[in-house]
Structure 1
Amino acid sequence: MKKKYTIWKTNIKITNTFLILYLIMLVLIIGINISIAGIGLISFQHASNFNPEKFTRNFEKHIILNNNTLAVTNEGKTLLKKSDAWLQILDENLNEKYSIYKPSNIPSNYTMFELLHNHKYDVNKNTIFIYNVKNQNEEKMYLIGFPLEKAAKHTLIVNPSEYYKLKNNLIIIFIIDVLIIVLLAYIVLARKFAAPINNIINAVDALAHGNYSKKYGETGIFKHVFFNLNSLGSVLNNSLEKRKEVEKIRNEWISSISHDLKTPLSSIKGFAEIMKNNDYNFTKKEIINYSNIIYSKSMYIQTLIDDLNLTNKLENKLIPLKLTKVDLNNFLVEIVIEILNNPNYSKYDISFIKYDADVLLDIDQDLMKRAIVNLIVNALKHNDNTVKVKISLTKTTCFNISIKDNGKGINKEDLTHIFNKYYRGTNTSSSIEGSGLGMAIAKDIIQSHNGDILVNSTKNEGTEVVIKLY
């Protein structure tokens, strides 16, 4: 219930936000249109530069009135011609006293009613404007007429009560329009935005509850969001599968280590019980033999514990590197000699190809030796005693230490896990003791030196491990 309320509340917030933006945009558009219309009207008025009523008033200065002499200046005649206008001067009885450019269908005398009618409307397709001219002694009325295409008058008769009705109706129509816009905004925005966002909320909620397998259609304006949600789901799902796999490997490793610890402990316990038996007198040779077995098994347990401790410290970067400058050629030669001097590996075929120049690098000798010995011994222990191991040092963009054998090779399914902690490959014989941490320790050591380690293997052809040091 709480989830549905949250989604509903989110939908309302989103829709309201977009609605407000929609109304603001509507107001802005109306305002811009009104502004454009006003600017257009002003521009029209300025562009025409002709006002017939003003023209009529100002024409007074071009009329010559002197002792009943009527005339028009040359400039006035030019203005009339240019404006397609005509002039008629009337006396006090509304009879024509003077005219120029007057059309033939314009009367020469008027009644007061005719004059008022013609001034309000038009006369024979001409629009007239009336003004007066005077001097100290006399005053005359003059008419200036324009063809309808040049100037026209339109009379608007308004009933105030009807005007207010119209005004009220317009307000009602505007309110109805706003309500329609609001309704449409809710419908359109809810479909366009609220529904996809509701799906996004559901997707995030599903991810939060561990449902990583559900996929969403990557369409609409939020298609990139759904693409990222699907990608995140895939990543989290892969991560979950890997965690399950690591957990499975860890459990198998614990079972294996428990067995590896139980076996030497059983030997130690068995021989200790025999040796504490007072009813039996042991010879010196038997005591020495039993003591060696107990010591050997104890050392094996110690090795397992040391490996666990070392991998934990390497993983948490708790071991500071004791860097010294070392010649890698001599360093690798000493490691090969030490392994061959071990009775367990003295009969193996191990060779080393030196780099043709001194290679001086800063390394932690003890840790790096541990890593390289682990890798070489792995190549020996997991193959037949006829295996040949070739170690070489080369230089490309970095120094490469290659450990290559012609042994059994590694299965593809094992190759992807070979550096995983606790992993023991399917090729590993149950008779081979080990913690399953050797390869992981080697990788951690090399990476702590800012290096890298790669493995290539082909079944029944052999394996090559390459250490890259920069």
Structure 2
Amino acid sequence: MSIRLRLTLWYSGLLAVTMLVFGVVLYGALNVMLYSNQKSQMEEISSEIRQKITVTRWVINGQTQYAVNGLNRLDQFRYPGYFVQVSDQSGSIIKSTTDYPFPTEGAVAAAKKDKNMAERFKAQGKSFFMYNVPVKFEDRQNDVDIFVVLQVAAIVDSIDNQMRLLMYVLVVLFLITLFIAATFGLFLARKALKPIDNIVAATAQIENGADLDKRIDYIGPPDEIGKLTSTINSMLERIQLMYGELEESNRTQRRFVSDASHELRTPLTTIRGNVDLLEKMWRQQENENENARALDDKDKMELSLEAMQDIAGEASRMSRLVNDLLSLARADTGLQISKEALPMLPIVETVVRKAGMLPKSVDFIVGDLSALEGAVVSGSRDYLQQLLFIFIENAFKYTDEGYVRIDALKGSDQIGVRISDTGIGMDKEEVPHIFERFYRADKSRGQTSGTGLGLSIAKWIIDEHGGSIEVATRKDEGTTFVVWLPTSRFPEIME
């Protein structure tokens, strides 16, 4: 059963109960009011007649007899619409203004208890309402109480017809109102819950992956449904953003696997080719006497040496690639670098000394490093050296003429190490991607050796040390990197 149908049934049922209670109360109140008016009129008539009734006593042949007087004025012209009857204590009718048979048993029983009584009865197809009043007289001489029953009645068919008509009207109004309320309520429920249908449709499309851009249209007050719609739309935006990030992550991962496979395949192909060459040469050695085209010893030694050098070089390249991948894998698992308080100047001087031993075709200029004097950072010595060495090695790799320069800068609460070169540079569109794994500028791809992982590792090390990096580059003119690290002072180191 749908929510709109349940809502319609609930408030239709509540309306039905309310109308039923209202109808019963109205019917009962009107009925009591009409019969109370009749009873009040009958009480006035019975009071007037009671004052005129007298009892006469006489004795005949030693027996006391009683006669009721004052009833000669009972007539329906004097009391229009009402009938009057007087009965003795045995129930025998003494005087009556009607031919309708009025019941006397209950009236006599109530009179013996000195109680007034109102009752309804039917006689000759008509409905009557009757008020019974006992009238007592005291014979002190004989110590006897004598009473008669005064009965005042009226035909109440008109009242019953009015009440019956009222009941019919109430029932018809009840049914019509309930039908209209249920129909209109169902319409309102459908209209009010229309946004829920939109929400269901939108979430169904999202479940089927059809349209993540879809939003729920809602025009209405900011009620509960409006708030729900707004919340769902916000959730859809977050889902779309997360889905986009997931897609981008999947694309990056696929590109990562593809590039890693490509980088690993190249040295493996070289190694495999050289191994095949060595195997071929060894077989030629075994068949030297049978093969007239066999190579001489000098040529075989030269080829073997070249093959071994290629194997060693590619194996070293694979080792560096695997180490880089291992470093990034550790970064992905949330590895926390162990840090300690370190003076920065000795770290940079060590890197400068090792960088001077790198094969290079340009000048290596060591600028002013005085800004590092007294500067202390919280970090890892090995990782900081690896960080600076990555930038210097890259600078040598992409600089064919000119120079590579390193110097230091000082900020309010940080120090910077600047590595600049006069190499190939980059377009500004490439800068946001240089820290992505395996990303290499199109111009450099295939022309210079490398894995494309160095800057990704450098960015991770900078982030782990709470630092930042600035990049300034211009194509064919060079690139400048500035690594900023937060500083602090530790007395035990400064001493």
TM-score by length of structure 2 reads: 0.58
Could you say which residue in structure 2 is the equivalent of 1:438?
A: 454
Could you say which residue in structure 2 is the equivalent of 1:145?
A: none
| Larger Rg over CA atoms | 2
Indicate how the Cα distance of structure 1 residues 234 and 354 shifts in structure 2: closer, same or farther if over 3 A, else same. Answer: farther
Q: 1:325 aligns with which of 334, 337, 341?
A: 341
- Residue 257 of structure 1: CA displacement? 0.9
Could you say which residue in structure 2 is the equivalent of 1:269?
A: 275
Could you say which residue in structure 2 is the equivalent of 1:360?
A: 376
**Aligned counterparts, 1:270-289, within 5 A:** 272-273=278-279, 276=282, 278=285, 279=288, 280-282=296-298, 286=302
Matched, 1:381 2:397: yes
Could you say which residue in structure 2 is the equivalent of 1:302?
A: 319
- Quick one: which amino acid aligns to residue 248 of structure 2? K
- Quick one: which amino acid aligns to residue 218 of structure 2? T
Distance 2:324 2:243 in 1: 32
- Residue 419 of structure 1: CA displacement? 1.8
- Quick one: which amino acid aligns to residue 255 of structure 2? I
Could you say which residue in structure 2 is the equivalent of 1:153?
A: none
Could you say which residue in structure 1 is the equivalent of 2:210?
A: 211
Could you say which residue in structure 1 is the equivalent of 2:101?
A: none
Residue correspondences, number: 346
CA contact (8 A) 2:195 2:229 kept: no
Matched, 1:392 2:408: yes
Indicate how the Cα distance of structure 1 residues 456 and 203 shifts in structure 2: closer, same or farther if over 3 A, else same. Answer: farther
TM-score by length of structure 1 reads: 0.60
Could you say which residue in structure 1 is the equivalent of 2:256?
A: 250
Distance 2:481 2:195 in 1: 51
Indicate how the Cα distance of structure 1 residues 398 and 182 shifts in structure 2: closer, same or farther if over 3 A, else same. Answer: farther
CA contact (8 A) 1:206 1:212 kept: yes
Q: Which runs of 5+ in 1 are unaligned?
A: 1-8, 34-91, 93-112, 118-156
Matched, 1:334 2:350: yes
Distance 2:253 2:339 in 1: 35
Aligned to 1:159, what secondary structure does the other structure show?
A: helix
CA contact (8 A) 2:16 2:178 kept: no
- Residue 213 of structure 1: CA displacement? 4.4
**Aligned counterparts, 1:403-414, within 5 A:** 403-414=419-430
Indicate how the Cα distance of structure 1 residues 422 and 388 shifts in structure 2: closer, same or farther if over 3 A, else same. Answer: closer
Q: Deviations over 1:50-100 (max 9, x none)?
A: xxxxxxxxxxxxxxxxxxxxxxxxxxxxxxxxxxxxxxxxxx9xxxxxxxx
Could you say which residue in structure 2 is the equivalent of 1:42?
A: none
Distance 1:416 1:333 in 2: 30
Aligned to 1:435, what secondary structure does the other structure show?
A: coil
- Residue 299 of structure 1: CA displacement? 1.5
CA contact (8 A) 1:207 1:233 kept: no
- Residue 166 of structure 1: CA displacement? 0.7
Indicate how the Cα distance of structure 1 residues 397 and 386 shifts in structure 2: closer, same or farther if over 3 A, else same. Answer: same
Could you say which residue in structure 2 is the equivalent of 1:140?
A: none
Matched, 1:228 2:212: no
- Residue 201 of structure 1: CA displacement? 1.6
Could you say which residue in structure 1 is the equivalent of 2:167?
A: 167
Q: Which runs of 5+ in 2 are unaligned?
A: 23-50, 52-75, 81-156, 220-225, 289-295, 487-495
Could you say which residue in structure 1 is the equivalent of 2:4?
A: 15
Matched, 1:371 2:387: yes
Distance 1:465 1:21 in 2: 72
Distance 1:393 1:274 in 2: 58
Indicate how the Cα distance of structure 1 residues 362 and 251 shifts in structure 2: closer, same or farther if over 3 A, else same. Answer: closer
Q: Deviations over 1:318-348 (max 9, x none)?
A: 5x53433211122112212211122336734
- Quick one: which amino acid aligns to residue 159 of structure 1? I
